[in-house]
Every structure is written in structure tokens, then in C-alpha cells.
Copies of this chain bind each other. A is one copy, B any other.
């Protein structure tokens, strides 16, 4: 039985709903300086994969929650992801002129506005979380836990810490543990957040939250290793960016440390252990999350 078309329709539907919800969150009539709104909007609408918001929605639905209740939190995580990309691309960091085939934020709006647009997106993410309660009756206790999770997983001990380690690593990583720290925090923590935020909206127990945390950690690491692999072996057309950039920038990756074949093996092993953790969580319906795990492992861009 092949259910990929149904799954792809599902992805497309959610992506559209998230994009619509993001438009509502920064309405055209918002009373903020025009350049700031434009800069925030530009990067939010620059055509990302919307993986993190998808995970929020899929996790919430796996617990039987209404999709509507999950959308504001899904938008919050996309805003955090987007701010992190804007700041990462800055001249003082990765100094990238293009992302997803479009000029980076600071190339269009200037550095100062790009920094501030990032700051405003991060701040607005927390606003969006509160709106999940105002709009859909998620309890204040759950929302406060989501705020706490985001502030930990996107902060110094999470995503930002991973980015600092990545920057410092450019002077030379010496072992796989350092690389794993970067992957787990820079990419993984926001994926973990997405899953447990969705789970909280769905009323997960502590045990279920822990299972989702393991699922997210293993899935996130598999995702990042797959990224390392695709940078080596991927099709530039499909990727929408130059491949071999890691090699050219002398970035240390999983294939660098353990070779391509073992890296591919790691992706399989981690995906399987992620799915095993999910299987133990006793969800209302885990099928979409399982499909997402397979989809990420299979992807070619």
C-alpha cells in the first residue's frame, strides 16, 4: 500500500494553514514602523519547509487536540526559527548573502533593521503563545510551561548556546562529541520544543512528554546528520542552494568524522530509535508523526 500522496496532501494543507496564520499574526494594518514589519514579513514568508510548526501541529493532533489550538504555537516556533536564521546570516556571523535562493534579510533591509527584525520576531513568538490561550482555551498552566520550555530550549542552554558552540567550532572541532553538542542544541532543541509544545496542548502526561522529548532529540539529530549528508551528495537544483558548502567552508560534519556510509547508518538508527520512543508514548494516533520521521529520513532536499 502506498499512502505517500495522502501524506503529501496533509503536508501541503498544514503548510498553507501555517502560512495563513502567520499572515494574521503580522497583519498589514499593524501599527509598527513599516520597515520593521516588512523585514519581519520578508523572512517569515521566504518559503521555509515549515518543519517545526508541522511538528507542533502533528504532535498536538497525535494527542487528539484540535489543530486550531496548535496553530498559534506553531507560528511561535516558526518565528523563533526565522529570527535565528536572520541573525545567523549577519555579516558578524555566517555572512551569507542568500538563503533559499533569496537575498538574506540584511542584504535587503540593512544590518540594523535585520537585527531588530530578529529581536522583534523572537519577542512576538511569546505573544503568539499567549494567544493560543486567548483563542482556543489552552490552560494558563500549559501555556506557561510552553513559555518555560521555549525560553530554555531556544536560549543560552539551547539553540543560542548551540550557535555559540558552532561559531567557536569554526576555529576547529576536534571530536564528534563537540559536533553532536552543536547539532543537539542548534537544531535539535527547537525540534524537541515543537514536539513537547504540541504534546502539552494535547494534554500529555509527564511520561508522554519524556517520550516525545526522546523522539525529538533523536529525530533532530537524524535530521541534522541528513543535512550534512545532503550537503555532500545532494542535487543543487532540489536543494535550492550550493552543495559541498560545508567542505568549501571547511566545516566539520558527521561524514567528516565517521564517513558517509556510517553517517547514513546513523540516520537510520536514530530514526528507528525515535520511532521506538514514540511507540512507547501510547498516543491517540501516532501515524502522522511516524510518517514525518520516515519522510525526513527519505528526503533529498
A35 touching B168 in the complex, CB below 8 Å, given contacts A92-B111, A130-B151, A141-B140: yes
A279 interfacial contact with B, CB 8 Å: no
A127 interfacial contact with B, CB 8 Å: yes
A122 touches B124 (CB 8 A): no
Q: Please tell me which stretch of A49-57, A62-70, A155-163, A239-247 contacts chain B, meaning at least 4 of its Cβ atoms lie within 8 angstroms of it.
A: A155-163
A133 interfacial contact with B, CB 8 Å: yes
Q: Which of A30, A139, A155, A168 has the most CB of B within 10 A?
A: A155
A142-158 contact mask (Cβ, 8 Å, vs B): 1 or 0: 01100110111011110
A112 touches B167 (CB 8 A): yes
Q: Per a CB cutoff under 8 Å, which of B90, B110, B144 touches A130? A: B144
Question: Smallest CB-CB separation from A126: which chain B residue?
Answer: B151
A284 interfacial contact with B, CB 8 Å: no
| Cα–Cα distance between A89 and B111 once the two chains are bound (Å) | 13
A115 touching B90 in the complex, CB below 8 Å, given contacts A151-B130, A157-B31, A164-B36: yes
Q: Per a CB cutoff under 8 Å, which of B30, B90, B147 touches A126? A: B147
| Cα–Cα distance between A151 and B163 once the two chains are bound (Å) | 23
A120 touches B160 (CB 8 A): yes
Please give, as numbers and ranges, the residues of chain B lying within 8 Å of A33 by CB-CB distance. Answer: 161, 164-165, 168
A17 interfacial contact with B, CB 8 Å: no
| Cα–Cα distance between A93 and B116 once the two chains are bound (Å) | 10
| Cα–Cα distance between A92 and B37 once the two chains are bound (Å) | 19
| Cα–Cα distance between A160 and B116 once the two chains are bound (Å) | 6
A126 touches B140 (CB 8 A): no
Give 30 pairs: A residue, B residue, CB < 8 Å, sorted on A.
A30-B156, A30-B157, A32-B161, A32-B164, A33-B161, A33-B165, A35-B164, A36-B156, A36-B160, A36-B164, A92-B111, A92-B112, A113-B167, A115-B115, A116-B163, A116-B167, A119-B122, A119-B160, A120-B161, A123-B151, A123-B156, A123-B160, A125-B151, A126-B147, A127-B148, A127-B152, A129-B147, A130-B147, A130-B148, A140-B144
